[in-house]
Amino acid sequence: MAEVTLIKAINDALATEMARDPSVFVLGEDVGCCGGVFRATEGLSRRFGPERVIDTPLNEVGIVGMAIGMAMSGLRPVAEIEFSDFIYPAFDQIVSEMAKMRYRSAGQFTAAVVLRAPSGGGIRGGHYHSQSPEAYYIHTAGLVVVMPSTPADAKGLLSSAIRGEDPVIFLEPKLLYRTVKGEVPEGEYLVPLGKGRIVRPGSDVTLIAWGGMVPVAEKTGAVAAKEGVDVEIIDPRTLWPLDIAMIEASVNRTGRAVVLHEAPRTCGFGAEISALIQERCFLHLKAPVARVTGFDTPFPYALEKSYLPDPERTLRAIHASMDF
C-alpha cells in the first residue's frame, strides 16, 4: 500500500493496465510528452512509446470518433478530454455511436471506450472549465457513468472500466486531484462497477454525495455528530448503473434522505435519486427528500465558493429534515 493523490492513482491505473494488456491505448490532446493538462498521463509516453500514447489534434469529435473505431477493431482505447466542458463537439459521437453501437449492430460490435474527463469546480475556471455534466450521460442509454472520490476508488474503478465491455464516461473531480490522499494497493487492483460505498455509517439521515462533494458530506457528518445527529454517507461511485439497493436499504433504516451534488439543481442527477427514493421508500420516509446542489446559473468565475455546496448549506438541509 502506498499513500498517493487521486491524480497519481489514475496515472497508476493507466500504467498498470497498459503493462498488463498491449491492446490498451491512451489518446488525447497533450497526453504524450506533456502528460496531459493535469499530468494524469505523465511518464506513459516514455514508458510505452508514442504509438500507444497518442497526441491528437485539438479535435474532440476526432478523438472520440477515433476511439470508437479503435474499440470496434478490438483495441482498448482510453481517451482523455482535457475538460468535461470541452466534450460537447463530440456529443453526437458519444450519444449516437458510442452508446448505441451494441444495439445498432445487433450485438456484433461494442464500443468499449473509456472516456476520461476532469469534471466539476475547484480551479475557478468558470463556465468553460467547471461544469458537472453527469446527468447528460446518465440520461443516455448504453453508457456507464463513473465518478470516484478517493485515490483507491479512482484506480480500482478505472481499471475495471478499461477491462469492461461497455462504453464508460469516467468523470474525475479535479477539485480532489491533489487535495486528497489515500492508501492505494500497488499492482493490479479492481473496484467493481455498479457498487456504492458507505463512507460513514449512521442511523438518523442518509446523505448521498459523489465526486468532489464527498469530502463536503464528511465534514457535514462530523459537525452533525457533535450536535447528536448520526449521518450515514453513501458514495455511489458508479452513478449509472446506480447501486439503488444500497441507498434503499439505508433510507428505509434512517427514514430521511439528503442528496448533495455540485451540478445545477433542475434535472440534476439528484432529482432522479429523489424520485427513486420516493418510489421505493415512501412508506419509510419521515420527511421529504432534500437536495443541496449548485444553482441554476452558469458556473461563475469569481463566486465559485458561493456556488458550490458547502457543509453549512448541507447541515441546514439535514436540520430541516430532522425537524420535519
Using CA atoms, how far apart are residues 4 and 182, in angstroms rounded to an integer? 6
pLDDT, tens digit, 9 for 90 and up, residues 273-310: 999 999 999 999 999 999 999 999 988 878 888 999 99
The confidence band for 127, taking pLDDT boundaries of 50, 70 and 90, is confident
| Mean pLDDT, residues 70-74 taken together | 96
Active site residues: 129
Q: What is the pLDDT of residue 186?
A: 94
pLDDT, tens digit, 9 for 90 and up, residues 222-239: 999 999 999 999 999 999
Q: Show the cell assigned to 3.
A: 499513500
- Does 3.40.50.920 match the CATH number of domain 197-323? yes
Q: Measure CA 109 to chain center.
A: 26
Cβ atoms of 47 and 185 within 8 Å: the answer is: no
Cβ atoms of 299 and 307 within 8 Å: the answer is: yes
| Mean pLDDT, residues 68-76 taken together | 97
pLDDT, tens digit, 9 for 90 and up, residues 133-168: 999 999 999 999 999 999 999 999 999 999 999 999
pLDDT, tens digit, 9 for 90 and up, residues 85-112: 999 999 999 999 999 999 999 999 999 9
Residue 1 reports pLDDT greater than 90: no
- Does 3.40.50.970 match the CATH number of domain 2-184? yes
Count of alpha carbons within 13 Å of 284, Cβ hemisphere only? Answer: 19
State the chain's mean pLDDT as an integer.
96
pLDDT, tens digit, 9 for 90 and up, residues 257-274: 999 999 999 999 999 999
pLDDT, tens digit, 9 for 90 and up, residues 242-260: 999 999 999 999 999 999 9
All structural domains of the chain with their residue ranges? 2-184, 197-323
Strands laid side by side in the 238-240 sheet = 53-55, 24-28, 76-80, 114-119, 168-173, 144-146, 238-240
Q: Measure CA 245 to chain center.
A: 19
Given this chain, do its domains 2-184 and 197-323 carry the same CATH topology? Answer: yes
Using CA atoms, how far apart are residues 63 and 232, in angstroms rounded to an integer? 40
Using the CB atoms, write b or e for 7-36: b if 16+ within 10 Å: bbbbbbbbbbbbeeeebbbbbbbbbbeebb
